[in-house]
């Protein structure tokens, strides 16, 4: 159970290079059923490739009360090279601007990129 302002959870997200992948995030109250009120919150997500020293902004959208982080195929097609099981690892996080003075990072993690065989878009 995470609380606003506490240490972020650490997530391992597995993405296939060249695919679009989404991560669905739910902010729930203590009863683990009712959504936390995130009205007015602004979300940003970023992936970082240490090997390339590149930051990629990941689109964040709201679907109802769910926060959806997306790694679009036009970004993931450049993550890693070669044909092997794991072609790259990137760091990523989700930051929340709760109000003018409050920034919180509820999620940090690693994106493990699996190599594709088709080599890009069909």
The answer to whether 109 and 13 are in contact (CB under 8 A) is yes
Q: Tens digit of pLDDT for each residue in 19-77?
A: 999 999 998 888 888 998 888 899 999 999 998 899 999 999 999 889 999 999 999 99
* Average pLDDT over the chain, rounded to an integer: 89
Q: How confident is the model at residue 2 (pLDDT cuts 50, 70, 90)?
A: very low
Quote the pTM value: 0.88
The class that CATH gives domain 10-114 is mainly beta
d(CA 42, CA 103): 10
pLDDT of 5 above 80: no
- Number of H-type helices and E-type strands within the chain: 1, 8
pLDDT value for 7: 83
């Amino acid at each position: 159970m995470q609380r606003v302002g506490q240490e972020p959870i650490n997530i391992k997200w597995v993405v296939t290079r060249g695919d679009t992948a989404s991560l669905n995030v739910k902010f729930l109250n203590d009863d683990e059923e009712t959504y936390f009120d995130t009205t007015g919150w602004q979300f940003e997500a970023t992936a970082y490739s240490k090997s390339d020293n590149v930051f990629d902004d990941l689109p964040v959208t709201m679907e109802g009360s769910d926060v959806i982080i997306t790694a679009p195929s036009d970004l993931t097609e450049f993550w890693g090279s070669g044909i092997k099981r794991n072609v790259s690892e990137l760091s990523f996080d989700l930051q929340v601007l709760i109000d003018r003075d409050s920034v919180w990072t509820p999620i940090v993690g690693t994106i493990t990129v699996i190599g594709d065989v088709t080599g890009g878009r069909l």
